[in-house]
Chains A and B, each alone.
Chain A
Amino acid sequence: AQTVTQSQPEMSVQEAETVTLSCTYDTSESDYYLFWYKQPPSRQMILVIRQEAYKQQNATENRFSVNFQKAAKSFSLKISDSQLGDAAMYFCARTSGNTPLVFGKGTRLSVIA
């Protein structure tokens, strides 16, 4: 089974600080897509950032950036200048494009004022 592993069930960060969430995955494919989704307590899942495996450049979306290490099959999410609204469950996911999303178990991020 092609799995996605998030080794940190819970993380906390002080407001305005930086936090990194870890994700590793298993795949035999050379072409695939990786995602970080955010699920706030209201439960609506939203896409935070995405990375195409064929792109060497790490994706960035405002305060959110990834560290994509293809050889190590690692895809971590860095949140800079953390805000109270960043508190949520964060899920790492992957797909080959024609296959369903496979999610990690999630990391619950708390932001401390």
Chain B
Amino acid sequence: GAGVSQTPSNKVTEKGKYVELRCDPISGHTALYWYRQSLGQGPEFLIYFQGTGAADDSGLPNDRFFAVRPEGSVSTLKIQRTERGDSAVYLCASSFAGAGGPYEQYFGPGTRLTVT
């Protein structure tokens, strides 16, 4: 079956602009995660959705970052007033959730964001 997909694969934007990054999880996975991976580092957690609601958004660095998952499937990560420090690879992952777990997370290929 299809894996986690992310679009665009690359995004170049100017400082101060608004960007949206999209994640399409594996069908049937109710849990969805966003991570950010800076150059030479491991991924860092941003936010976790269970269904349509954000169950844990403790990793969002500030209020310029926001994510939604309105129908419990596709999710969009939104970054306002981008800064050069936001440049990174943004990874999305999905998993089953609930009784019978724990379950492993499956990752998409990521979106490389470059803020100039």
- Decide whether A and B assemble into one complex: no
**Taking beta carbons and an 8 Å cutoff, which residues of B are in contact with A?**
none
Which positions in A face B, CB cutoff 8 Å?
none
